[in-house]
Amino acid sequence: MKNNLGGFVPVHSLGISQIVAYGAMFYSFAQIKVELAEKLELTLETTTLIVSLALFTNVLISSYVGYLIDKYGGLKVLSNGLFIGSVGFIALFFTNSLLGFLFSMLLIGISFSSTTYNVAFSAAIQLDDQNSRKNITIITFYGAIASSVCWLTIGFLRNYFGLNSIFLMLSLALFLMGLYFFINLNFKKEEKKSNSTKAIRNLVPLTLSNKEKIIIAILMVFGFTEYLIFSTTALSLIQFFNSNFNDPSIAIILASTYGPFQLIGRFLEMKFATFLDARLTGLVASAIVPVSLIIILIPDFYICIIAMAVFGMGHGLLTVTGGYVPNLFFEPQVIGRVKGYIWAPTALGMACAPFLSGIFYDNMNNLIIFLLALSLCPILSLLIIFKMQTRF
């Protein structure tokens, strides 16, 4: 895949970046939030609230990040964001105060907004518009195992080396990933062929028709509700299964199960991509997610495995839906800003997840029931947008 600077950046590197970014700045807090609260001498509710506020930074700056993507390219934004996240975890390593925690999480929030799917998907569209649906799916193959890789790795480090070793490992992973993109952007011979001037010249204010405003509003609702459901569920699974089975090892195994099944959902999406509209595959996926949430309430190990499989496949496919559907209606030249608008409420859904997970820590069944009711929104959103005319 050729980038717009002429250098060679494999789509797989964008995928690996999502394992690192999501693993470090989202999934890690599902396992370390209790130890983190103890280190800082804060309540669990306060700690998870601050983590949520860090993710809320994403809501505030997502449109600006989209502007930077259109102006400088998604890869440059991604590289800089990874470096910022690395500094954030080094700051967490050294801090023992509330003020230091707030500063560290601010950096992590900025990094999260600049490194995750919104940026990686925009980069994939900028680099290869025609094959963007396939490339976005490939990126999500890697993102599908972010939770499993993170939770298993952090579980090992926490047991044998302690909390601070986790901060160092996550910082190093973010730094090395950022360095990879930095080298590709700045030290390859093809850099001399840069056409970044053209990218800036083509940057014009985005004027929206009524149809475009409706599409963006619908995708905002879809993004907010889908990611609120997924993020809150993902961050609550370990506690949910631990309360049901009273075994932390089984809880981690069950919670990690959905990750690999996201790969199956995304593999199916890639197979269907040649003959099915992305909105239709998304509609089917959005219908099976609430089914998985119903099944998960049955306290049987093997039934929970099935629930996690269904949940993983459903969300795995929906990630591609959210990443690709905007490209059905908007040109690559403005996709960064469009995704920035859509990503703000999506980020809000993710930002609410740690706090919801914290306040429902001792009452997981009620949380699942709430998420079940909310799961109607993604279905209705895709139904409304299904008949709208696309650009190709």
All domains of the chain in start order, with CATH: 11-186+208-385 (1.20.1250.20)
Give the amino acid at 88: G
> For 382-389, what is the mean pLDDT?
88
Residue 7 has a pLDDT of: 43
Say what the pTM is.
Answer: 0.72
Burial class (CB in 10 A: 0-12, 13-18, 19+), 10: exposed
**Residue whose pair of structure tokens reads 């102006």 in the numeric block:** 71
- Of 320, 336, 312, give the one whose Cα is nearest residue 276: 320
- Encode pLDDT of 266-309 as tens digits: 778 777 777 788 899 999 999 999 999 999 989 899 999 999 99
Token duo for residue 303? 């039934």
Kindly state the tokens that stand for 103: 């500063």
What length does the chain have? 392
> What are residue 2's DSSP bridge partners?
8
Query: How far apart, in Å, are the Cα atoms of 78 and each of 56, 94, 204, 253?
Result: 19, 25, 22, 31
Environment class of 373 (CB within 10 Å of its CB; exposed 0-12, middle 13-18, buried 19+): exposed
Query: Are 354 and 293 spatial neighbours (Cβ–Cβ below 8 Å)?
Result: no
With bands split at pLDDT 50, 70 and 90, how would you rate the model's confidence at 379? very high
Rounded distance between C-alpha atoms, residue 297 and residue 307, angstroms? 9
Structure tokens at 5: 């600077």
Burial bucket for residue 130 (CB in 10 Å: 0-12, 13-18, 19+): exposed
What CA–CA distance (Å, rounded) separates 273 from 280? 10
Task: Identify the pLDDT of residue 266.
Answer: 77
Average pLDDT over residues 231-258: 84
Indicate whether 188 pLDDT > 70. no
Quote the pLDDT of residue 207.
Answer: 65
Q: State residue 289's pLDDT score.
A: 92
The crossing angle, in degrees rounded to 10, of helices 28-40 and 44-72 is 130
| 259 vs 200: which has the higher pLDDT | 259
Residues 368 and 101: their CA atoms lie apart, in Å, by 30
Helices and strands counted in the chain (H then E): 17, 0
4 has a pLDDT exceeding 60? no
Contact between 124 and 11 under an 8 Å Cβ cutoff? The reply is yes
How confident is the model over 79-104, as pLDDT tens digits?
999 999 999 999 999 999 999 999 99
Tell me what percent of the residues of the chain surpass a pLDDT of 90. 34
The letter for the amino acid at 225 is T
Average pLDDT over all residues of the chain: 83
Nearest-5° Cα angle at 197, 196 to 200: 90
**Helix/strand/coil for 162:** coil
Amino acid letter for position 143 = G
What does the H/E/C string look like for 270-308?
Answer: HHHCCCCCHHHHHHHHHHHHHHHHHHCCCCCHHHHHHHH
User: Each residue of 197-215: pLDDT tens digit?
Assistant: 444 334 344 467 788 889 9
Contact between 147 and 338 (Cβ < 8 Å):
no
For the chain, what percent of residues have pLDDT higher than 70?
Answer: 92
Q: Decide if 322 contacts 222 (C-beta within 8 A).
A: yes
pLDDT tens digits, 321-371? 887 888 888 887 777 778 878 888 888 888 788 778 777 777 778 888 889
Tokens of 245: 């089975």
C-beta of residue 159 within 8 angstroms of C-beta of residue 343: no
Report the C-alpha gap between 191 and 207 in whole angstroms: 32
Give the pLDDT confidence score for residue 187 in this predicted structure.
60
Tell me the per-residue pLDDT of 109-163, one tens digit each, with 9 for 90 and over: 999 989 988 899 888 888 887 887 788 888 887 877 787 788 778 878 877 888 8
CA dist., res. 172 & res. 83, Å (int):
10
